[in-house]
Each structure stands twice: as C-alpha cells, then as structure tokens.
A = this chain, B = another copy of it.
Amino acid sequence: MITVEQAEKTIQSQLRHFGVEEVFYETALGRVLAEHLYADRDLPPFNRSTVDGIAIKFSTYNDGLRSFKIKATQAAGENPVTITAKDDCIEIMTGAALDDSADTVIRYEDIDIADGIATIKNIEIKKGQNIHLRGKDKKQGDVVANAGRIITPPLTGLAAAVGKTKLWVKKLPRTVIITTGDELVNAEETPTPYQLRRSNGTVIKSVLEKYKINAQLQHWKDDAELISNQLARCLSNYDVLLMSGGVSMGKFDHVPQVLEELGVEKLFHKVQQRPGKPFWFGTQGNRTLVFAFPGNPVSVFMCLHRYFIPWLENTLGIQSQLQGYAVLQKDIYFPYPLQYFAQVKLDTSHQGLWQATPVDTNGSGDFSNLIYTDAFIELPLEKNEFKKGEVYKVWRYQPA
C-alpha cells in the first residue's frame, strides 16, 4: 500500500499530450488555448475619444482661446474630421477617432454650447486629456493572450476583438466512465430490496462537464468475460478509462485481474487513505490511463478530485482550479493509519480567510453530505489529532 503522495507522484508522471484542434471562438469557452493570440492592429487602433464633448488643438487653448466654432459632429466609426481653422472644434462622441489636428477633448459637462459655438467653462484643461492614444494598450503584433490559458469569457471577447474567430485549442482526452456492479440498476428503474440505483457515472460525467469533456457512460455486470471483452474495446477507443467498482478483495472484483490480463500495467493498487483505499491505477503502453476507483460514491468523488482532475489540469498545462488552503474550524480526531479526507464546508471570513468546517459524516458511505459541503480537507498521515486553527490543504469540488 502506497501513500497519497506516492500515488499522486505516480499519476503525475503519466502526463499526456492529445494534440490540438480548431474550434469556433464562441464555442471555445472552458477549453485551453493552444496558440498565442496577437493584436492584428494597435489597440486602440486610433487616437480615441473617451468621452462625449469637443475636440480641439491644445495650442489654441493655450494661446487663450476659449470659444470654438463647431465645425462638424463626429460619431464613433466615422473617419476623423480635420481641424483646419484655429478656432474650430469638432463635436466628438465617445469612441470616435481623432487625427493629428486634434489632441485634447473636453467633456460636455465642461462646456456651454450656443449657436454653434462651444465655450469652455472656467476649468483647467490638460493637453491630451480624454484621449486613449493609439497603441497604448497593445501594439500591432503584440501577444494579447498566451497559449496555455483557459478560454474565459474575457478571452472570447479578446478573440473577437482581434478577429480571431477560429482558435487552436488543446484536444481533450477521449474519456469513458465505466461503472460495474450487479447490484446497481438505472436511475429510472425500481430496484429490488437489495439493489441500488447507480449514481457514480452521472456524478463523474457532471464533474467533467466543467472541463468540457464529454465522457461516454458504460455500465457492466460483474462478469469477468464480459468485462474483458468490453475493456479490450475501451482500451483501444479511449485515452482515459474512469472506472468505479470491482477493485476490492471480493470474489467478483474482476477489474484488476482483467486489466492486467489485457496488458494494462498496474502502477499501484491501494492507497493509504480514507476514503478510497482500494484505488487501482495503471497504464497501457504509454497511452491509455486507467483510473479504477472503488465503487463507494464518496471514494469515487474524492479520488476524482484528488487524482484525476489534477492529472487532467497538468496534462492540459493549466493552473489548479481546486487546490487551496483553509483553516480548520473544529477539532478532528482520526485514529487510523490512513490519510484522511474529511468533507468540509468552506467560507471566506471578512478578513479574507478561508475557513473549513468539517461536517459530521457517517463514514464514507454517506454521499448525501456531499451536497452540503464544498471540499475535502487533506489531513496528514503522520498525525491523528487535527486542531481548530490549523491550516491544511483543501480540494474544492464546489466553486468558491
């Protein structure tokens, strides 16, 4: 039996690259950018008025002039009007372009207009005010977004702004979720008194949606031959197999043996942790990864967030969306020689501190608490007593 740290290290040594593909920017949300985005022209592309008012040449103001004839009105998007006469100004709208003949913009609030003449109130005017200069944000050819970033809403906007409507993104692993267990029936079915409706597949699939992985769902009976045939097919069709069930010591726990018969190399079986001790992990020929979690819903959920998602994030080269640190709000006593992952409710104090309040659970079988909690707090193996006020690593499964 290996430690959580060893298990993590083993998994993280199996990062993969699945290549890239091109997607339309409006459907790219949540994907990982695989190319740099460049400014196709200066940003802003012209000297741009940031207010509504009048544009003048500062030197005339400096010479003492305060009243200007409105030569033209210029809306955003129009070609800039040129000031030719000394006492001319342009009535200009937010976002409109200025050419070199104008270098200062005065807000409507700071002028009076009558009979086509704009008169500046008794206020101080600074040369260049209210103008967003061409290229101030970015120069043409500058990188506006680096490869490797998650495509967030502002990034879709930036792609639109630079006219990059097709984006190269990292491909996602082809993923299949496989649940096993004769006692499990579909959610639509009425179970016999000794059966249960299955839920692990749906839960895993839902978690992966955030990462835009559209995983396939399979459920198989605890039949060694059937499992073997189906697994052989999945091993050639997918990059990642996320399994739940069939990895304990039971007589019908065929999964580890069948996987090894099919040439999947076991990298570990059993981790010194609760929940999730019987977790099995292996790979087939530097390609397919098999995460075979125990069938218990809380075990699956913990292993998914503690092992698979961090592997996925590293494989995609993105920052962890899950991991943080929080202050324990209640003592926990855990007497077993296992690393304990306790379900906690997270909140932020008005001092900006993450606080983790453990929720009493009835052991790892009770997944009904997961909906009331936000994270697993990871309590080190070396200790049995964890005190209020101590800070530990947390793995969040709800957005903070």
What 1/0 mask marks residues of chain A from 195 to 206 whose CB sits below 8 Å from any chain B CB?
111111011111
Residue numbers of A with Cβ under 8 A of B are 25-26, 29, 43-46, 48, 50-53, 73, 75-80, 91, 93-97, 107-109, 132, 136-138, 144-145, 149, 152-163, 165, 181-184, 187-200, 202-207, 209, 222, 248-253, 295, 297, 301, 321, 324-327, 348-355, 362-363, 365-368, 370-371, 391, 396-400
> Looking at the complex, which one of B94, B193, B249 makes contact with A45 (CB distance below 8 Å)?
B193
Residues of B within 8 A of A78 (CB): 182-183, 194
Residues of B within 8 A of A194 (CB): 45-46, 76-80, 96-97
> Looking at the complex, which one of B207, B368, B399 makes contact with A158 (CB distance below 8 Å)?
B368
CA distance A297 to B188 in the complex (A): 46
> Looking at the complex, which one of B152, B367, B370, B398 makes contact with A398 (CB distance below 8 Å)?
B152
Query: What copy number does this chain have within its complex?
Result: 2
Given A94-B250, A153-B207, 14 new contacts (CB under 8 A): A51-B249, A76-B183, A76-B194, A77-B181, A78-B194, A80-B194, A93-B251, A94-B248, A107-B249, A149-B371, A153-B206, A154-B203, A161-B197, A326-B352
Contact A325 B354 (CB under 8 A): no
A156/B29 contact (C-beta < 8 A), A97-B194, A183-B76, A321-B399 known? no
> Looking at the complex, which one of B163, B297, B399 makes contact with A400 (CB distance below 8 Å)?
B399
A157/B352 contact (C-beta < 8 A), A50-B365, A137-B366 known? no
Nearest Cβ in chain B — how far from A169, in angstroms? 15
Contact B196 A45 (CB under 8 A): yes
Nearest Cβ in chain B — how far from A212, in angstroms? 11
Contact B184 A368 (CB under 8 A): no
Q: Which residue of B lies closest to A349 (CB)?
A: B325
CA distance A45 to B226 in the complex (A): 28
Q: Which residue of B lies closest to A77 (CB)?
A: B183
A75/B391 contact (C-beta < 8 A), A324-B352, A371-B152 known? no
> Looking at the complex, which one of B51, B76, B301, B326 makes contact with A154 (CB distance below 8 Å)?
B301
Nearest Cβ in chain B — how far from A39, in angstroms? 8
Residues of B within 8 A of A93 (CB): 248, 250-253
A250/B52 contact (C-beta < 8 A), A153-B397, A154-B367, A157-B367 known? yes
Contact A157 B363 (CB under 8 A): no
Contact B363 A132 (CB under 8 A): yes
CA distance A190 to B396 in the complex (A): 43
Can you list 17 pairs linking A and B with CB atoms under 8 Å apart?
A52-B253, A78-B182, A132-B363, A153-B397, A156-B202, A157-B200, A157-B297, A158-B199, A158-B368, A158-B370, A160-B187, A160-B198, A160-B199, A348-B354, A351-B391, A399-B399, A399-B400
Contact A352 B354 (CB under 8 A): yes
CA distance A138 to B371 in the complex (A): 14
Q: Which residue of B lies closest to A198 (CB)?
A: B160
Nearest Cβ in chain B — how far from A261, in angstroms? 21
A365/B132 contact (C-beta < 8 A), A198-B160, A349-B325, A399-B399 known? yes
Q: Which residue of B lies closest to A142 (CB)?
A: B368
Q: Which residue of B lies closest to A209 (CB)?
A: B29
Contact B325 A181 (CB under 8 A): no
Residues of B within 8 A of A137 (CB): 362, 365-366, 368
Contact A202 B157 (CB under 8 A): yes
CA distance A301 to B321 in the complex (A): 22
Contact B367 A25 (CB under 8 A): no
CA distance A334 to B362 in the complex (A): 53
Q: Which residue of B lies closest to A161 (CB)?
A: B199
A77/B184 contact (C-beta < 8 A), A157-B200, A197-B161, A295-B94 known? yes
